[in-house]
């Protein structure tokens, strides 16, 4: 066995004692804040010198507006371009305003094309134009072409830098080319093989290339089972392909089938995070993450959704108003109403979350939809029976009335069964109508469970208790 050379004695391996060794510590953040406040620029620079770009982005997000501007001035040329894609979009606007168009143009031209596009696409048109005039022509063309593709498409997230090899070459010729080339991407995983028309016909993982002798032709060792991504494919579909087939990278082709870029797994991790975050926000009626957004902007963004919730609450109140006489005669009903509605709402939310996730991951198909709906209906009914016994007994003991206990028990079964049904049918129905189920499902499900809960409980009470 060949013995690998050992590392130099003076190089110490990193020791990770706990998860707190990753990311930023509170002590570091406070240390930077104290240094900036005291005007000790060198101390602030020393504290940030070894930070990863992502951690430096987190630090900038943690600081106040004035501290952020001060730190950027202190960093000077130590503010590396790779920091920009990691910064939250709201904070990045402030940073970009301070950097100015000329300095930002220099930073963008040093980034990989996919990262540059991510930063550039969030800028307003006037600022984009000012930056484009300061960029080299070739790089300007890349940004302009990328922005011509649909938002959230493969064309927006692909990387132009890749290793493309003619199909007629041997591995030796490929290695010689890569050693001599000066414009290869910093990181790559696969070599893409193209025919004379520049159509991708296969790829070779780097691990296989390292184990193959120089005279072997590329066509003899290349993989031909390749997932090719069209420029206009939605990024959510791209993420699904990577997840489903365990891809590390995938080629992107134009309408003519020519290789124009590559999407790598690090880009897809970002997409998965972005899509998951977007769905969570939509379920809560928030358009986008607003942790760093201004007070007024956040208020305006949340207001319309709250108006929708007010309308649905009014509908539920109208149902209650129909039984005003019943509630006046049996005051206990007013106390018990929220229990039925809230249990139905929680059960519906559980089912809704599972359904939206299954739709997003393409786990819910024509073949298993009916089975899924039936299962959730049974689960809702079963939980309804269990909680009917519990709520009925508590109500009986609380109000010394077995009749009210039976009414709340029956209403609980009805509402939780309906919750299971609504939690599946509503998102599935919205999906088939072409509406994102993450946006509107929660309001509809909550409205259904509130209305049905009040109607069942108060209707049964009016029928059997009066």
Whether residues 123 and 176 fall in one domain: no
Domain of residue 409, CATH code? 1.10.357.20
Is residue 176 within 8 A of residue 131, CB to CB? The reply is no
**Calpha distance 281→275 (Å, rounded):** 10
| Number of independent structural domains in the chain | 3
Predicted TM-score (pTM) above 0.75: no
Whether residues 211 and 234 fall in one domain: yes
pLDDT tens per residue, range 213-271 = 999 999 999 999 999 999 999 998 998 899 889 899 999 999 999 999 999 998 888 88
The lowest-confidence range among 87-101, 245-259, 294-308, 348-362 is: 294-308
End position of a domain, from candidates 130, 153, 176: 153
- Distance from the first to the final alpha carbon of the chain: 90
User: Does 285 reside within a domain?
Assistant: no
End position of a domain, from candidates 134, 153, 172: 153
What's the pLDDT score for residue 77?
84
Domain of residue 168, CATH code? 3.10.580.10
Whether residues 418 and 322 fall in one domain: yes
User: Does 219 reside within a domain?
Assistant: yes
User: Does 376 reside within a domain?
Assistant: yes
- What is the percent of the chain where pLDDT is above 90? 39
Whether residues 403 and 445 fall in one domain: yes
pLDDT-based confidence at residue 11 (cuts at 50, 70, 90):
very low
User: Does 369 reside within a domain?
Assistant: yes
Write out the residue range of the structural domain in which residue 186 sits: 164-265
Whether residues 390 and 438 fall in one domain: yes
Whether residues 147 and 169 fall in one domain: no
Whether residues 207 and 65 fall in one domain: no
The lowest-confidence range among 252-256, 294-298, 432-436 is: 294-298
Whether residues 190 and 114 fall in one domain: no
Whether residues 433 and 351 fall in one domain: yes
Whether residues 168 and 148 fall in one domain: no
Cβ count within 10 A of residue 317: 11
């Amino acid at each position: 066995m060949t013995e690998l050379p050992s590392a130099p004695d003076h190089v110490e391996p990193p020791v990770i004692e706990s998860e707190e060794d990753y990311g930023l510590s509170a002590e570091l953040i406070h240390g930077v804040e104290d240094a900036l406040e005291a005007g000790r620029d060198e101390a602030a620079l020393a504290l940030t010198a070894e930070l990863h770009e992502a951690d430096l982005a987190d630090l900038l997000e943690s600081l106040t507006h004035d501290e952020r501007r001060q730190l950027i001035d202190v960093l000077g040329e130590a503010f590396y371009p790779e920091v920009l894609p990691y910064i939250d979009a709201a904070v990045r606007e402030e940073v970009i305003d301070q950097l100015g168009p000329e300095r930002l143009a220099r930073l963008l031209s040093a980034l990989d094309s996919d990262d540059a596009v991510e930063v550039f696409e969030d800028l307003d048109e006037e600022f984009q134009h000012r930056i484009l005039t300061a960029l080299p022509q070739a790089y300007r063309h890349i940004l302009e072409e990328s922005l011509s593709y649909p938002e959230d498409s493969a064309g927006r997230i692909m990387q132009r830098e890749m290793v493309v090899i003619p199909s007629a070459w041997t591995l030796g010729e490929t290695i010689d080319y890569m050693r001599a080339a000066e414009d290869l991407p910093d990181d790559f995983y696969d070599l893409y093989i193209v025919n004379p028309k520049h159509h991708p016909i296969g790829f070779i993982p780097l691990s296989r290339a390292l184990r193959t002798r120089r005279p072997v032709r590329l066509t003899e060792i290349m993989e031909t089972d390749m997932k090719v991504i069209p420029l206009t494919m939605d990024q959510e579909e791209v993420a699904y392909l990577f997840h489903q087939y365990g891809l590390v990278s995938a080629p992107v082709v134009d309408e003519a089938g020519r290789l124009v870029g590559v999407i790598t797994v690090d880009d897809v991790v970002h997409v998965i995070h972005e899509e998951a975050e977007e769905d969570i926000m939509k379920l809560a009626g928030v358009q986008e993450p607003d942790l760093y957004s201004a007070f007024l902007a956040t208020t305006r963004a949340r207001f319309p959704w709250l108006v929708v919730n007010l309308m649905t609450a009014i509908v539920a109140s109208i149902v209650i108003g129909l039984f005003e006489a019943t509630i006046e005669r049996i005051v206990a009903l007013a106390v018990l109403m929220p229990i039925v509605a809230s249990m139905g709402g929680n059960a519906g939310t559980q089912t809704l979350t599972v359904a939206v996730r299954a739709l997003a991951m393409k786990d819910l198909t024509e073949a298993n939809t009916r089975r899924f709906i039936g299962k959730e209906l049974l689960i809702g009914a079963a939980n309804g029976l269990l909680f009917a016994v519990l709520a009925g007994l508590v109500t009986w003991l609380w109000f010394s009335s077995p009749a009210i206990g039976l009414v709340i028990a029956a209403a609980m079964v009805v509402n939780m069964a309906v919750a299971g049904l609504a939690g599946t049918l509503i998102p599935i129905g919205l999906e088939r109508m072409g509406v994102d189920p993450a946006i509107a499902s929660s309001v509809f499900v909550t409205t259904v469970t509130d209305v049905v809960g009040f109607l069942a409980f108060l209707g049964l009470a009016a029928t059997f208790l009066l």
